Chain A
């Protein structure tokens, strides 16, 4: 019993020693905003819409990001542009609702929607947190510098016809019976 009492006191003393020692350890708190830690490129904060390597909008308004968004903060309307490419006539993200889960980025088949490390985009007015397409579009490819969805899609646009895309054969002649 005395042993047990000594054990108890010793273990409590060990706890006090541990916490007491911390008093003399330099805090490793990073003082934001005096010091801003460089964040990894895949940190999830403000969402952007990137462009493909040719500088065209990547977003094809497929509604996958808005479909997967758990808080329904993305809305858009798809349309067809003069070159036959599907694009977003308007695209809106309500950052007041966004929880920065990154599911939209995972769902995006064209690498258009990407999350960036920039988390400092708080606004005083809630309506200013609603970003339209022009606020979201950037002039670079983001984290995926090479991918061009339309090079793989196989749909005819003003830029490429049938068989002009990656890993596509020329259109077949359906009028011949030659094997």
Chain B
């Protein structure tokens, strides 16, 4: 009996630790992004709330929580209320399969340093990533606003397109690791991180990941200059906050997936494994911020061209080459 209880307690502890880390990181990513964007543009970024603006996320959080929760007239009430939660929850749930260390042995019991190691972890990740589209598309549709609707439609089209490239690009990794389990994939990189073996897959995956997170240069669903704020135009207060949170958690997930698939996951010398994972996530995310500071938004047709005519063929070719090498 106590055996089961202990198992649940350990699980709860892991969930709590991961969620806390992810949430805090998401909040501070916002600050880091704003600060970095400021510096990229030769200004300071937020520096008023606390020293160097470190209390800015707290201030933002308070503001978002206290703001009035508006709902447009004619909005589909239930869907409008649910959409932000869909986005945030799917993003958070993806962390369930990300391993953040080797198995620990405490008191003779082995504790896996992953919330749950399912053998189709990779498929689970893609399934949740696809579900995230519903938050965007339904939020945009339920707002009863033309900007939001356009944003939602764009989001659906874009995320479905890039889901394909994302999935195909990872097939060689699966082939090399011989498993869908993220734990196994990390273990497969004990010698050599896959980035060195599969640079093309890495590139395709990174670009697709940015498109999945709807970040510049793929932020067409939001597109402030064209659509106001796209699918979340009509959202305010903490509902908008959930969309926001979802986006930054998604960034971390993608960072973590890049780390797991290509950078060896938690593996690294000297530092403890979770720190290595964190460092790798942060590096990927910083790169995404750099991209945001550098590249302009793609046009819709360019976005589709890039996805269907460049990334998917590249990924397919990559699978063929990998298969050929493995067969050889």
Contact = CB atoms under 8 A, between A and B. Distances in A.
B294 A16 contact: yes
A22 B40 contact: yes
Given A12-B295, A16-B294, A29 B43 contact: yes
B41 A15 contact: no
Contact of B294 (A19, A28, A31): A19
Contact of A19 (B38, B43, B44, B293): B293
A27 B38 contact: yes
A6 B28 CA distance: 36
A166 interface: no
A25 interface: yes
Interface in A20-77: 20, 22-23, 25-29, 31
Contacts of A16: 290-291, 294
B42 interface: yes
A19 B293 CA distance: 7
B43 A15 contact: no
A25 B43 CA distance: 9
Contact of B290 (A20, A26, A31): A20
A22 B290 contact: no
A16 B293 CA distance: 8
Size range of the chain B interface in the assembly: 10 to 19
A57 B295 CA distance: 58
B290 A19 contact: yes
B103 interface: no
B39 interface: yes
B40 A23 contact: yes
A26 B190 CA distance: 42
B204 to A, nearest CB: 15
A23 B294 contact: no
Contact of B39 (A12, A15, A23, A31): A23
A148 to B, nearest CB: 47
Contacts of A12: 294-295
A28 B291 CA distance: 22
Contacts of A19: 40, 290, 293-294
B58 to A, nearest CB: 22
Given A23-B39, A27-B38, A27-B39, A15 B44 contact: no
Interface string B8-52: 000000000000000000000000000010111111100100000
B39 A22 contact: yes
Interface string B260-301: 000000000000000000000000000000110111000000
Contacts of B293: 19
Contacts of B39: 22-23, 27
A28 B40 CA distance: 12
Contacts of B295: 12, 15
Interface in B189-238: none
Nearest to A16: B294
A28 B41 CA distance: 10
A28 B42 contact: yes
A16 B290 CA distance: 7
A28 B38 CA distance: 11
A29 B44 contact: yes
Nearest to A18: B294
B42 A27 contact: yes
Interface of A: 12, 15-16, 18-20, 22-23, 25-29, 31
Given A19-B293, A27-B44, 4 more contacts: A19-B40, A19-B290, A20-B290, A29-B44
Sorted nearest first, the 9 A-B pairs with minimum C-beta distance are A29-B43, A19-B294, A15-B294, A19-B293, A27-B43, A19-B40, A29-B44, A27-B44, A27-B42
15 contacts: A12-B294, A15-B294, A15-B295, A16-B291, A16-B294, A22-B41, A23-B39, A25-B42, A26-B42, A27-B38, A27-B43, A28-B42, A28-B43, A29-B42, A31-B47
